[in-house]
Structure 1
Amino acid sequence: MEHSLSTSLTDDVTADVRVPASARAQRLRSGIVLATLLTCQMMIVLDITVMNVALPRIQTDLHFSSTGLSWVMNSYSLVFGGLLLLGGRAGDLFGRRNLFIAGAALFTVASLAGGLAQSAGWLLAARVVQGIGGAMAAPNTLALLTTTFPEPKARMRVLALFSGMSSAGFAIGLIVGGLLTEWLGWRSVMFINVPFGLVVVVLAILNLSAAQREPAHLDLPGALTATSGVAALVYGFISAASDGWGSATTDIALAAGVGLLVAFLVIESRASQPLLPLRLFTDRNRATAYANMFLVPMAGMSMFFFLTQFLQNVLGLSALATGFAFLPTALLMFTMIRLIPRLLTRFGPRPVTVTGAASMVAGLVLLTRLTPDSGYFPLLFIAMVLMGCGIGLSVSPLSVIIMSNVEPHEAGAAGGALQTLQQTGAALGLAVMVTIFGTAARGAGGSAQHALVSGMTTAFAAGAGIAALTLAVALSFRALSSD
């Protein structure tokens, strides 16, 4: 029977005064496990954004076309997003430790191969394999955290760390990408994963305990429809960003994706051992958190994507300076890691996430005031501070809310659903924003810079509208005091 989030967050756990002699060793091992899992998650999340700054040099070295270059990002997103649900449930059934180690090893090998790429096709193949490895490791990272730290307060702390690392990774990826590309070249963006990946794999083999496997069979019809449906949707969103919403490819992909996901839900409602147990959505707070895990990246991605272009193409900053311009956002996201456990315990999910959503709205509304003459201070700096607080407060509690009272045998499925919604929301948000940007820029007239900024501010306005929707959803969280 599931316990309420209120019970999970407020239970006082007593301990014997006489701590066993092995307690220190156990705490050290738990610390190593936590560092191992968080390092892997940061590595996977960084890879989503770290490549952005390196794209111009990749295009020059490997002779990508302008349209083909987008697939350096999209090939990873498509495979990663499409396989997350399958990776999470496979970990539940076949062993999370095994899937995590195999996924981290595959991701590391693919990163080495990508750094050695001599052609466009070689790099794209490596990115696909990276996506497969990431989809094996990421949902099982979250499930292993949940089951390794069963005590409620410890679980809340590590889940807040996980969520904060995931959120801040988007901003840190731009900083790391700028540093590596500027100093060591674009290949270092791929090679940097290798030493970290090797450490993760070795530490996982030595310290992760093998979790008991569930005596069940994988829901293959659910796996096929879920993976194909999410992949079709992600592909449709990618197509919309490049070809527009009226493109036949876009329409077919999105229609196929929706149809396959409807079929998936029908299959899951009838399956005795579903890939995604629909009862995960019967808890109001968890269902609300899932909804905002989809919506917040939709709104937030516009800031990272368009401000990167504004800083380089309008303000004329280098790749390195552009990365450091996002430092206020990254620092504030990390600050939320320390604050979220105490804020959730004291105030509950509704005030925390409502405050975060309101801060996001304010930051995006402020960005609609950008002009070609705007400098970094004060407008951009204040907007980045608001967005750092907003995304941190909006996203960091969601992993805690979703995973804090999940039954252990469903932790992989719950984590896979969380990350699938996050990835799909980011892909959809970027497609919507790019389409709005292109339409507004073409109709703006004037100089190229004026058209560029006009398109961006229109996209930011749309992002503010989505952020306002996250605010409305956050209001439906149940207070901790009610059950």
Structure 2
Amino acid sequence: MFAVSVLAGVLILAAVRPLLPAGRHRPRPLDIPGAILVTLGIGLVVYGVSEGSDVGWRAAQVLISLVSAVTVLVGFVVWERKRTEPLLPMSIFRSRPVRAATLTGAVFYTGAGGLLFFSPLYAQGILGYSPFESALAVLPVGIVVVISSQIAGRFMSPAAYKPLMAAGLLLIGTGITLWVGTPEDGSYWVHMLPGIVIMSTGQGLGFGAMTAATLEGLPLHQHGVAGAVNVTAQQIGNSVGLAILVAVSTGVSGGATRPADQLSGFHAAYAVAGAIGLLGGLAVALTRFPKGGDAPSASEERR
């Protein structure tokens, strides 16, 4: 499986390289302390949340990890504000579309990653599917994402970024919430597929708009770092978000091996992931995007 992934990556790189325009190289100092701080901070968050579900939230290593994470990340922000060539220019967050896209990236992968993590546990551990059958069960995700993203592309414009992101997150939250009703003897067509299709439709609708909104209101030289911020938000959602969902599931089930107890933990994780998706979609829908242009206003720039 890993070898196939490497081969696919090499082939994709070889195929897209001739299609990319030539870049212009401008030497810039590398912010190594900033990179170390943000990587360490995020790593401590993931470790603390993961350990909390196993050893308890009052355990010394959990408290030390989470407090250290907050300290390190605050130190990262302070350091970046002092740098003339920061790893992460805080000014990019003056753009409301960028803020909405960053939130979308984190929520997007918390929900989608959470469902894709728990679905094989449910299919194989509760319903008795084989690993191959479990893989086939989530195959519609890729198909629906491709179809819905093509549909969303027909409406793509700066004015459509917000409704597409909001609709995408609301559908992701709705699809995951439907899994709260999965029983021990569930049917794939009745209990699994509807949620998968709805969630995947939301993924296809929201991803392109999220990617485009990431660059709104920013000068060209900041597009690279803005794209990196969004990818980082996605990875935080996928790692920290998933760690939180696993902690919720384990906390509710108590680590029991009985299918009924495990299923109650899964349901709690689905409920939390669904709520995160729905609240994220509502937050994006209530965000006021700039009118008549994508650049921040003068008052936003002063803030």
Q: TM-score, normalised by structure 2?
A: 0.86
Kept in 2: contact 1:241–1:430 (CA 8 A): no
Unpaired stretches in structure 1, ≥5 consecutive residues: 1-188
Structure 2 unmatched ranges of 5 or more: 294-303
> Paired residue for 1:469?
279
Tell me how far 1:304 sits from its aligned partner. Answer: 1.0
Residue 156 of structure 2 aligns to a residue whose secondary structure is helix
Residue of 284, 290, 304 corresponding to 2:116: 304
Aligned to 2:268: 458
Q: Percent identity?
A: 25
2:183 corresponding residue in structure 1: 371
Question: Does the CA contact (< 8 Å) of 1:372 and 1:449 recur in 2?
Answer: yes
Question: 1:306 Cα deviation (Å)?
Answer: 1.2
> Which whole-Å CA distance do the structure 1 matches of 2:57 and 2:11 have between them?
44
Q: How does 1:83-122 map to 2 (within 5 A)?
A: none
- Distance in 2 (alpha carbons) for counterparts of 1:254 and 1:307: 29
Determine the structure 1 residue equivalent to 2:144.
Answer: 332
Structure 1 pair 337–390 and aligned structure 2 pair: CA distance change class (3 A): closer
1:382 aligns with 2:200: no
Aligned partner of 2:297 in structure 1 is: none
Contact 2:158–2:213 (Cα < 8 Å) also in 1:
no
Distance 1:204 1:227 in 2: 29
The aligned length equals: 293
Q: Measure, in 2, the Cα distance between the counterparts of 1:322 and 1:254.
A: 35
SS in 2 for 1:315: coil
Matching residue's letter, 1:285: P
* Contact 1:214–1:409 under 8 Å retained in 2: no
User: Deviation per CA, 1:211-242, whole angstroms, max 9, x where unpaired?
Assistant: 22224211233222122222222332333344
Three-state SS of the structure 2 residue aligned to 1:403 is coil
Q: Using the alignment, how far apart are the partners of 1:207 and 1:393 within structure 2?
A: 25
Cα gap change, 1:349 to 1:233, in 2 (>3 Å) = same
CA contact (8 A) 1:437 1:456 kept: yes
Contact 1:438 1:455 in 2 (8 A): yes
SS at 1:348 equivalent = helix
Question: 2-side partners of 1:410 and 1:453: how far apart?
Answer: 45
- Alpha-carbon distance change, 204 to 391 in structure 1, aligned in 2, over 3 angstroms: closer
Q: What is the CA-CA distance between 1:294 and the residue it aligns to? A: 1.4
- Within the candidate set 268, 273, 283, 2:85 is matched to 273
Q: Which residue of 2 aligns with 1:409?
A: 221
Shift of 1:297: 1.6
> What displacement does 1:411 show?
2.8
Q: Distance in 1 between matches of 2:56 and 2:204?
A: 32
Q: 1:212 to 1:241 in 2, by over 3 A?
A: farther
Structure-to-structure mapping, 1:389-468, within 5 angstroms: 389-403=201-215, 406-442=218-254, 448-468=258-278
Residue number in structure 1 paired with 2:134: 322
Partner of residue 149, structure 1:
none
1:236-260, Cα deviation, whole Å (9 max, x unpaired)? 2333344443332222222222211
In the TM superposition, residue 346 of structure 1 has moved relative to its aligned partner by 8.5
Superposed CA deviations along residues 414-449 of structure 1, whole A, max 9, x for unmatched, are 222111111111112211111111121139x8x811
Alignment check: 8 A CA contact 1:292 1:473 kept: no
The aligned runs of 1:6-405 (5 Å cut-off) are 189-200=1-12, 202=14, 210-345=22-157, 348-403=160-215
Looking at structure 1, the residues matched to 17 and 140 of structure 2 have their Cα atoms a distance apart, in angstroms, of 36
User: Which residue is 1:11 aligned to?
Assistant: none
Structure 2 Cα separation of the partners of residues 465 and 240 of structure 1? 21
Q: How has the CA–CA distance of structure 1 residues 438 and 195 changed in structure 2, closer, same or farther, with 3 Å as cutoff?
A: closer
Which amino acid in structure 2 is aligned with residue 276 of structure 1? L
Change in 2 beyond 3 A, CA 1:379/1:201: closer
Task: Specify the code of the residue in structure 2 equivalent to 1:469.
Answer: L
Seen in structure 2, the aligned counterparts of structure 1 residues 474 and 206 have a Cα distance that, compared at 3 Å, is closer
Tell me, in whole angstroms, the C-alpha distance in 1 between the residues paired with 2:264 and 2:60.
28
Task: Find the aligned partners of 1:201 and 1:345 in 2 and give their Cα distance.
Answer: 28
Deviation at 1:392, TM superposition (A): 2.4
Distance in 2, matches of 1:217 and 1:201, equals 27
The amino acid across from 1:454 in the alignment is S
Could you tell me which residue of structure 2 aligns to residue 140 of structure 1? Answer: none
Partners of 2:274 and 2:15 in 1: CA distance: 42
Q: Which amino acid aligns with 1:358?
A: L
Shift in alpha-carbon separation, 1:253–1:210, aligned structure 2, 3 A: farther
Q: 1:439 to 1:288 in 2, by over 3 A?
A: same
Give the stretch that moved more between structures: 388-397 or 369-378: 388-397
1:238–1:427 CA contact under 8 A, matched in 2: no
* Separation (CA, whole Å) in 1 of partners of 2:152 and 2:163: 12
Whether the 8 Å contact between 1:225 and 1:260 is mirrored in structure 2 is: yes
Shift of 1:319: 1.1
